[in-house]
Amino acid sequence: MSTKQLLAAIERGLIALQKAQALVLKSEAAAPKAKTTAAKTAPAKTAKATKVPAKKSAKNGVSDEARAKMAAAQVKRWAKVRRAKKKAAKAALVVSAAK
């Protein structure tokens, strides 16, 4: 590939990126402002204590309540993985100490 061809390909890429940026900015300006990240994660941590109303969210068509349940389930799964990892580490330590 010659230098001219390479520069032309880069220029086409830049134009495509600028078009994509313009579309994103245009859609962002038209869409209502999203809630803060802290507000989104708070229901996930306290999913058992409080119920979030089951209104539809714009993102992927999943309700806020369902999203909070999924987040709580994921936290539970990761806790299980961490417990298993600690248990394996302790077992390996006991085996190596016994030798």
Q: What is the maximum span of the chain, computed from C-alpha positions, in angstroms? A: 69
Q: Are 48 and 55 within 8 A, CB to CB?
A: no
- Return the domain boundaries, the chain: 1-31, 35-99
pLDDT, position 33: 61
Q: Is the pTM of this model over 0.75?
A: no
Using the predicted structure, report yes or no on whether residue 93 has a pLDDT greater than 60.
yes
State how far the alpha carbon of 89 is from the alpha carbons of 42, 77, 83, 84, 96, in Å: 32, 19, 10, 9, 11
Q: Cα(46)–Cα(52) distance, rounded to whole angstroms?
A: 10
**pLDDT band at 30; cut points 50, 70, 90:** confident
Residue type, 91: A
Per the CB < 8 A criterion, the answer to whether 62 and 44 are in contact is no
- Determine the Cα–Cα distance for residues 43 and 36; give it in Å rounded to an integer: 12
